[in-house]
């Protein structure tokens, strides 16, 4: 007879979480919901990619390229190491083609984002000897590439100017070391980026002049 102590105790049932259904009303909940949709679309891309890789036409195409190459290598006694690398290159190219074919899912997931531009404004205390106002500096300013040229960036700058003036601060200015001027290579690599930097500052100057006029205590770098 076996000892009752040797019998395995049944595992306790898993506690099911309490689920509720509500209407999304806050920005945080809306962002979470949209992120969930984006994740779902990305999962569809993975499913489609797996289906495409395991499909008969895809496998037939890959094998149709690798097998003749292997036969030629054996027939002419070519270097097998080079042939192996060529075979790996064929497989890599085939997988890259799957990535390109299913790229539309990424575009659809990106369209679910509600934030298409951002401006980071940091407020610094002004030196007591120069002004009693705080000095706001723009640390970053960018718009998603698909939405550029539609006035989103100008709207962000206009909002920053309005916000600063409504709080009695100095007018905003780009920080010398803002995120969009990051340079990791010597300056002569970035000749094409210098005009873009100047245009950004010119746009800010226009917004300073259009939003309620420019006051006399405007901060400049």
Q: DSSP for 146-160?
A: GGTTSSHHHHHHHHH
Please tell me the predicted confidence (pLDDT) of residue 2.
53
Helical spans, DSSP H, in the chain: 27-53, 56-75, 80-101, 103-110, 152-166, 194-210
% residues pLDDT > 70 (the chain): 73
Instruction: Kindly state the tokens that stand for 96.
Output: 């890259």
Indicate the SS3 state at residue 120: strand
Instruction: Kindly state the tokens that stand for 32.
Output: 């979470």
Q: Using one digit for the tens of pLDDT, what is the confidence trace for 113-136?
A: 557 788 989 999 888 776 657 899
The residue ranges of every structural domain in the chain are 27-110, 117-210
Do the strands 117-124 and 173-174 form a parallel or antiparallel pair, or are they unpaired? unpaired
Please tell me the predicted confidence (pLDDT) of residue 220.
36
What are the φ/ψ torsions at residue 142 (nearest 5 degrees)? -155, 160
What are the φ/ψ torsions at residue 178 (nearest 5 degrees)? -65, 160
DSSP letter assigned to residue 172 = P
Q: Using one digit for the tens of pLDDT, what is the confidence trace for 161-194?
A: 999 999 888 899 998 877 766 655 565 555 555 5
170 vs 175: CA distance, rounded Å:
14
Please report which confidence band the pLDDT of residue 11 belongs to, taking 50, 70 and 90 as the band edges.
low
């Amino acid at each position: 007879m076996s000892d009752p102590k040797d019998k395995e105790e049944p595992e306790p049932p898993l506690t099911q979480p309490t689920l509720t259904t509500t209407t999304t009303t806050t920005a945080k909940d809306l962002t979470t919901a949209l992120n969930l949709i984006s994740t779902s679309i990305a999962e569809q891309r993975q499913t489609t990619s797996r289906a495409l890789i395991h499909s008969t036409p895809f496998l037939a195409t890959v094998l149709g390229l690798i097998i003749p190459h292997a036969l030629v290598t054996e027939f002419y006694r070519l270097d097998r190491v080079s042939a192996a690398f060529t075979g790996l290159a064929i497989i890599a190219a085939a997988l890259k083609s799957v990535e390109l074919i299913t790229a539309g899912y990424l575009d659809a997931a990106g369209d679910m984002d509600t934030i298409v531009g951002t401006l980071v404004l940091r407020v610094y205390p002004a030196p007591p000897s120069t002004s009693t106002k705080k000095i706001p500096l723009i640390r970053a300013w960018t718009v998603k590439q698909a939405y550029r040229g539609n006035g989103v960036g100008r709207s962000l700058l206009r909002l920053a100017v309005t916000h600063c003036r409504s709080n009695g601060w100095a007018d905003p200015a780009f920080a010398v070391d803002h995120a969009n001027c990051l340079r990791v290579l010597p300056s002569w690599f970035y000749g094409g980026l210098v005009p873009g930097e100047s245009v950004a500052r010119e746009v800010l100057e226009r917004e300073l002049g259009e939003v309620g006029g420019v006051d006399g205590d405007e901060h400049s770098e």
